[in-house]
Amino acid sequence: MDYNLNHIIDSDLARSSRIEIQAPLYLRCVSFLIDYLSIYCLATFAGVLVGYISSVQYLFFNANQFNPFFDFIIFNSTLLLFYSTEYLFNGKSFGKYLTQTRVKHKSEIQISFKTYLLRSIWRLVPIEAFSYLPGLNDNWHDKYSDTYVVFD
C-alpha cells in the first residue's frame, strides 16, 4: 500500500478511536457567559450602527428611545449569526474556543449547517436556560439537534 494511503487510514482510525470526554456543566456555563457577553457587545454595536445609518440616535437601554421590539430583533439576529458561525469554526464559538471545547454530533462526523442553525434556533426559546437545571439530562439545543459538547 502507498505510504500516503496508510497515513490517511491510520489518522482516520486514530480519530475514530479517540475517547471523547463530555464537557462538565460548569465549563459549559463559563462558555455560555463568554458567548452571551460577546453577543451583547455585538448587538449593542449593531444597534448603534443601525441608529447611525438610519440617522436616529439609538442606543440600547436609552430611556427616551427604548423600543423593546427593536432590541429583540437586533439581539436575536445577532445571536443566530453568532452561533451559526460555529459551522465556520468547526464547532467552536468564541466561548468554546476559550474553554477549549467543541460541539460534536452523535452520529455524523461533520456537522451540517442545518444542525448548527437548529441549535441556534433552540437557543431563542426564552426558557431554554432552564433546561440546564439538575434532573434534566440534556439541554434543549443539544437534545433536539443530537449534539453534545466535548473537550477539544
Q: What is the pLDDT of residues 60-72, one digit of tens each?
A: 555 556 677 878 8
Q: How far is CA 91 from CA 27, 104, 151, in A?
A: 16, 7, 11
pLDDT of 84-135, one tens digit each? 888 899 889 999 999 999 999 888 888 888 888 888 888 888 887 777 766 6
Please check whether residue 131 lies inside any domain of the structure: yes
pLDDT band of 17, cuts 50, 70, 90: low
Please check whether residue 38 lies inside any domain of the structure: yes
pTM above 0.85, yes or no: no
| Angle of helix 113-122 versus helix 68-84 axis, rounded to 10 | 150
139 pLDDT exceeds 70?
yes
Question: Mean pLDDT over all residues of the chain?
Answer: 79
Q: Which domain holds residue 66?
A: 23-151
pLDDT band of 51, cuts 50, 70, 90: confident
13 pLDDT exceeds 90?
no
Beta carbons within 8 Å of 75's beta carbon, 6+ residues apart: 39, 40, 43
**What is the distance of C-alpha 128 from the center of its chain?**
14
Please check whether residue 88 lies inside any domain of the structure: yes
Cβ neighbour number for residue 133 with a 10 Å cutoff? 8
| 23 DSSP 8-state letter | P
Reduce the DSSP state of residue 147 to 3 states and report it. strand
Number of domains, the chain:
1
Contacts 24+ apart (CB under 8 A), 109-112: 111/87, 111/147
Please check whether residue 16 lies inside any domain of the structure: no
Per-residue pLDDT, averaged over 72-77, amounts to 88
Q: What does the chain come to in residues?
A: 152
73 pLDDT exceeds 70?
yes
Please check whether residue 15 lies inside any domain of the structure: no
Please check whether residue 2 lies inside any domain of the structure: no
Please check whether residue 34 lies inside any domain of the structure: yes
Please check whether residue 59 lies inside any domain of the structure: yes
